[in-house]
Structure 1
Amino acid sequence: MRILIVTHAYAPGRNPRAFRWSALAQHWSARGHDVHVLTAPVPGLSAIEQIDGVTVHRTRGHGVETLRARLGSSQSQAAVTSGVGPGKRSARALIRKVLKAAHDLTWKKLYWPDYAALWIVPAIRHGSGLLDGATPTVLISVSIPFSSHVVGFFLRRKPSVSRWVVDIGDPFAFMVEAPTNNHSLYGTLNFAVERRILDSADAISVTTEGTRRRYIATYPGVEEKIREVPPLVNIPAAPHRPSQSSHTPIRLVYTGTLHRTIRGPERLLSLYQKLVEHLGDRIELHLYGNHREVADVFESLPRAVRAGVFLHGEVDREEALGAMRDATVLVNIGNDTTYQLPSKLVEYAAMEKPVLNVVMRPNDSSVAFFKAHRCVFNVIGDADVSDAKAGDAVKFLLDAPDAECSCDREWLRRFSTENVAAGYEQLF
């Protein structure tokens, strides 16, 4: 079988879509399928290369996209305690900040459907060439960004495409909490185009049942073609438990992107400040991932709190997994939307570590998910960040090094590469 995956993010990218689709593409290639990936360019990497049997085609966009990639390629890897404030940043960092501000005030307010808009036409041209010929091909377009589906919509017309699967990582038109474009300009267009994409697709996949229900309610008629294909995790054979002593800091580790609107750090930091009052320098908070949107929140922390907060920025997958293995307690910050489930939660469960789960509301998807996990401390809503709750959290953290958090391995197999790949194959 020949498979063409259209995804803006792919290895060596550092986001959940890149991790998921790199694993799936390699899985199918190892089973003898002819797998091609059409993706965005990566500075320093060739336009075409073989990665673990997968042919990766990197299609170059235009200058604005290249500038955006470079603006986002560097983040602070230092502790907040380094004392590097806005006035002491390097000239290079200052220039990057000015350029990003100009980008956000101009192009970001005008582009459609999202930041990858200028990649669409080159990707359609390149993809059309890949689909010339008689070999039947399963086409899979992956969001985010939604631009990948626009590419897929035009490639679907090629006679060699046997099936088109639209894979939705995050919603598009009704995602008003973290819009991908200027909804005041494009709100009506967003719904119209997403409706057209969904009607044209042969199959649609989402990662949670809540998202599936939301799509069925928003776009009546898609219920027969939309399916839940869960998050993916490569389950570690033997989760690592670092040695602990009375002098070893309690390491809280968060991995993932922070967003100002749907996944901000304020509630976690409010709790952490209370934990510091109890534990002093015995506790550390390490955050791995893109934090650009909320950098000012960390810079405004009191000095005593900042002393134990470390922002590592975006790191490669192995470093992130290593940080999770070395953690005393893993931290989740819930989305302010109820229907999404961060893919990292499956990895958290597989690590068999205690989890501090900080969420906005009781019906957060992570609260339901972690019912299958034995060692979870939920902090729900702003009112839950109280002195009494902090005292309970301190006990949870002190008991964490000795906690027995084994997870049902059969339950975890639902999220394995093999099972997730099989879920997609049913759509082919």
Structure 2
Amino acid sequence: MDKKRILIVTSGFYPEQSPRAFRATELAKEFCRQGHEVVVMAPHKENVQPLLEEFPIQFVDLGQLMWHIPNVKGCGKLGAFCNKAINRLLPLLFAFPQMEIFFMVKRKLKSEPKNYDLLISIAVPHPIHWGIASVWSKKKEENIAPLWISDCGDPYYIQENDTFRPPFYFKWVEEWFMRKTDFITVPTETSYRGYLSEFHPKLKVIPQGFRFEDIDKKAVLNDGIVRLGYGGGFTLGRRDPRELLDFLTNLDQSVRFEFHLFTAQSQFIEPYIKDSRIKLHPPIPRTELLEILSTFNFVVNIANIGLAQTPSKLIDYAIIEKPILQIISGNLDREVVLQFMNGNYEKQFITMNPERYRIEEVVKQFLNLSISGKDQQ
């Protein structure tokens, strides 16, 4: 395949620890391995230099993200209530502070040379897509690249895993951007449920991809302690660990186990750490996390509501070949939990063929999409 000049526009990137940062970083690295010229456009990243020294990635710095939600200081319960309302309403009603990246992308693309073969934009946040749409022309020769692929890990307007759906006017924004982009890539076959039916023909399934060789799987620790692990975030009432934690911490102290949770949302776990069997950890680099989890007996996934969003951690769990205990918030099957604690994994969650998540295959799908897109033009 001919060498291509590829622009990836993203918010998350190395060394950030998030599913979208992994997506952008792994794509950029593999495109480089396959001989393509890669430019990554993202907000300022501290300590990105080690990656740039290892791979010939050109990094275009969009600058520091400066917008923040203002909070009331003091004022007791009233101030706390105001802060809670502001933190909820500004992102919901105005996509603030995420909209800052809309203007950063729009401004930078206007001055960027129009010499790319492929543009890939990666959300979240979705204002990245909107910023590109604001400068994208119907006249292909006026655009920065002949083809634009919008990669969406999660849907924006038709959300299943947030308490409130964005207001109706964001439907117009989504329609505006999706009419402009050539393709919308989503991670699973059921992701189409999160997108307006008008754009289903543009949806293409390209799963999250990783380089399996980067993971150093370790032997399971066999010292009489049952170890289970979870890495990632939580959502109150939806991707919620509290029912499982309540059950585990009420088990007799003679039950020897350790539940290790690696998360930035420590507020969900802190009430339970008085039980020494609950181990709270901050997020750590993905490869390090997977090496640790590979020594455990099994891992935990808390299912999303609906089928439009699939946690990327399921791919990680499949790579390290761990039994997966699938938890549904509000509907904990205690008997299945006990079976796992006793080493019976008959009811483990089964993931699809892990080979499809190899980064080499994922990049091939993006490149094939760029070829088919040009053929359609």
TM-score relative to the length of structure 1? 0.73
Residue in structure 2 matched with residue 231 of structure 1 by the alignment: 208
Cα distance 1:189–1:278, how it changes in 2: closer, same or farther (>3 A)?
same
Say whether the 8 Å CA contact 1:262–1:337 is kept in structure 2.
no
The corresponding residue for 2:259 is: 285
Alpha carbons 1:5, 1:139 under 8 Å: kept: yes
The residue that corresponds to 2:247 in the other structure is: 271
Q: What amino acid is aligned across from residue 29 of structure 2 in structure 1?
A: Q
Q: Hey, what's the Cα distance between the residues in 2 that align with 1:114 and 1:142?
A: 18
Q: Post-superposition shift, 1:127?
A: 2.7
Residue correspondences, number = 352
Q: Structure 1 residue 250 and structure 2 residue 247: aligned?
A: no
Aligned to 1:4: 7
Given the superposition, is the C-alpha separation of residues 400 and 350 from structure 1 closer, same or farther in structure 2, using an over 3 Å criterion?
Answer: farther
Counterpart position of 2:103: 121
Compute the displacement of 1:329 (Å).
1.4
**Which residue of structure 1 aligns with residue 309 of structure 2?**
340
Whole-angstrom distance in 1 between the partners of 2:217 and 2:133: 42
Segment of structure 1 superposing worse, 319-328 or 100-109: 100-109
Greater mean deviation of Cα atoms: 321-330 or 107-116: 107-116
CA distance in structure 2 between the partners assigned to 1:322 and 1:22 by the alignment: 19
Compared CA separation, residues 270 and 148, structure 1 to 2 (3 A): same
**Whole-Å separation in 1 of the counterparts to 2:81 and 2:261:** 24
| TM-fit CA distance, 1:10 | 0.6
Amino acid at match of 2:202: K
| Structure 2 Cα separation of the partners of residues 263 and 193 of structure 1 | 27
Counterpart Cα distance in 1 of 2:158 and 2:38: 32
Distance change in 2, residues 1:255/1:58 (3 Å): same
CA contact 1:61–1:122 (8 Å) conserved in 2: no
Superposition deviation, residue 62 in structure 1: 4.8
SS state at 1:127 partner = helix
1:17 to 16, 20, 42: 20
Map residues 81-92 of structure 1 onto 2, 5 A cutoff.
none
- Unaligned 5+ runs, structure 2: 371-377
Q: Report if the CA contact (8 A) 2:249-2:272 is conserved.
A: no
Query: 1:100 & 1:64 partners in 2: Cα distance?
Result: 21
Query: Quick check: 1:240 aligned with 2:218?
Result: yes
1:101-120 Cα shifts (integer Å, max 9, x gaps):
87654365235335421122
Amino acid of the residue matched to residue 245 of structure 1? Answer: D
Task: Give the helix-richer structure, 1 or 2.
Answer: 1
Counterparts of 1:396 and 1:110 in 2: how far apart (Å)? 42
Aligned match for 1:156, one of 119, 133, 136: 136
1:303-338: CA deviations, max 9, x gaps?
4xx221111122122321222122121111111233
SS at match of 1:277: coil
Q: Classify 1:50/1:57 alpha carbon distance in 2 versus 1 (closer, same or farther; 3 Å).
A: farther
Secondary structure of the equivalent of 1:3? strand
Partners in 1 of 2:48 and 2:34 — Cα distance? Answer: 26
Q: TM-score, normalised by structure 2?
A: 0.82
Could you say what secondary structure the match of 2:133 adopts?
helix
Aligned to 1:314: 283
- The residue that corresponds to 2:322 in the other structure is 353
**One-letter amino acid matched to 1:320:** L
SS in 2 for 1:116: coil
Residue 339 of structure 1 deviates from its aligned partner by: 2.5
Instruction: Determine whether 1:298 maps to 2:269.
Output: yes
Cα distance in 1 for partners of 2:153, 2:297 equals 30
Hey, what does 1:167 align to over in structure 2?
Answer: 151
Kindly indicate whether the alpha-carbon contact (under 8 Å) linking 2:217 and 2:291 is maintained by their aligned counterparts in 1.
no
